[in-house]
Amino acid sequence: MNPTQLIILDYGSQYTQLLSRRIRELGVYSEVVSFKITAKAIKETFSNLKGIILSGGPASVYEHDAYTVDPEIFDLNIPVLGVCYGLQLLCELFGGKVEQATNKEFGKAVLHLDDANSQLFADIKDQSLVWMSHADHITKLPPNFQQIAHSQASIAAIKHQEKPFYGIQFHAEVTHSEQGGTMLKNFLFLVCQAQPDWNMQDFIVKKVAEIKKVVGADQVILGLSGGVDSSVAAALIAKAIGKQLTCIFVDTGLLRKNEANQVMTKYQELFTMNIKLVDAKEKFFKALSGVAEPEAKRKIIGKNFVDIFNDEAKKMQKAKFLAQGTIYPDVIESSAHGHSSKTIKSHHNVGGLPKELKFELLEPLRNLFKDEVREVGRQLGLDNTIVDRHPFPGPGLGVRVIGEVTAEKVKILQEVDDIFISKLYEANLYQTVSQAFATILPVKTVGVMGDNRTYDYVVALRSVNTIDFMTATATHLPWDFLEAVVNEIINKVDGVNRVVYDITSKPPGTIEWE
């Protein structure tokens, strides 16, 4: 299998991952690479490359240390599309001029076509809405380039008169650009002459053969969380090597209700593999005692998980490989090259294992996005309750118990969460929302049950809809459904007398509370 390839040179745009996903959704394999890649490295690495995209980014091309590109890339005879910063970089490199704009454009703008016959604009109607995000604009076109579209405030699209080089000032990859998907399709299939030959069936066949070849007769261990990524990684590796795989499942005490038993039962039924359960509940609750700060909790949970996994791994002297459910967004985020960003919250994974363990990493999903991982899981026969499971934080309920974590609060939250999720399934709503969960607050309020006064905890329900998890809006769940959920929680869960529903969007909030 050698599918059509397209690469995206990353200049730091918040939409780079989304752009790569959009390309793959159209059936073309895309990969995000550093803008520092050379033309020589491109030729050596990509054997069936059909197109190159220069991504957006937060910098200005006229700054003295602006990110640039190997000019020899333009001699590869491969079509190029510059997006936002990428458009401005094309302009600057080919002799045009970019300056700070008096009228900056952020948000929706109307796209006026100047050359409707351009391949990029095939089947695109005039005056459609696009999503702009720029403070600079082109003030002088480079020689041999022509303007093919404009907005009220800027040159919105350009093309080379002889070579297949295009630039757009807007972000075609976001849903706010009404016909952005068609423009990307035009670039792929009309300009680049790519083939829609990227699919998960071929991926599985190739990856299974690759795992067999790499592992040989050796043993593999994997830290199983019960989430989508580690489950699909386990299924794929098990398909290749069966009992040579041992999964270690750590019960932190911070899992959902009955999750440890469900995982052990389900995975032993579904797969030919070894699976070991480590009961570490007491250790985690002891380590978290008195700790309320979210980042501190995440680090404690992460460290204890790694320590326990290390201890178990050391017992497996014949294991040569450590398998992880790393997926492509993890790879992109961890390979950032100098773009400044602020930590919103740290992420918890099996990563960070000490070097003395001397395992070779096996990451069969590292080139897949989450939707592709789910599709691989389906084709491997995984249960929908695994494949379509909503995102669940690495630290588990440790960051859904707001403030200090105690066994009492976790038990209450497990019951509340179980009712909410079960009700979503019963009402056929689970698949229609992107992520739903409950939190327990460090607050007690007065209530009345029968003739008795109560003073119990407040819990919050949250459900959001999102395409890429970068932004999200609260789900408008039916009011009668919410009333039924609240009624069951109050009647069945001791320790709760008030339920609230979180309608905050992201931004300004995050999806999780901690």
The catalytic residue positions are: 84, 171, 173
Amino acid at 487: N
Measured between alpha carbons, how far is residue 301 from residues 198, 278, 307, 333 in Å? 38, 15, 10, 22
CA-to-CA distance for 363 and 361, rounded, in angstroms?
Answer: 6
Tell whether residue 494 is among the known ligand binding residues: no
Q: Residue 332 is which amino acid? A: I
352 annotated to a ligand binding site? no
C-alpha angle 175/365/342, rounded to 5°?
Answer: 55
468 is in an annotated binding site: no
Instruction: Report d(CA 426, CA 421) in Å as an integer.
Output: 9
3-class DSSP state of 79: coil
Evaluate the CA torsion angle 183, 7, 339, 342 in order and state its sign.
Answer: positive
Backbone φ and ψ for 426, nearest 5 degrees, come out as -60, -35
Query: Sign of torsion, CA 335 337 339 341?
Result: positive
228 annotated binding-site participant: yes
What's the rounded Cα separation, in Å, for the pair 361 and 326? 10
**Which positions ≥6 away from 293 have C-beta within 8 Å?**
none
Q: Return the closest-CA partner of residue 374 out of 434, 461, 436.
A: 434
Query: If DSSP codes are grouped into helix, strand and coil, which group holds residue 146?
Result: strand
> Is 227 marked within a binding site?
yes
Single-letter residue type at 43: K
Detail the DSSP E strand segments found in 280-328. 319-323
With the CA atoms of 154, 159, 161 and 164 taken in that order, what torsion angle do they form, in degrees rounded to the nearest 10? 170
Using the 8-state DSSP alphabet, how is residue 276 labeled? E
Where is the binding site, in residues?
225-231
Give the residue numbers of the binding site for ATP.
225-231
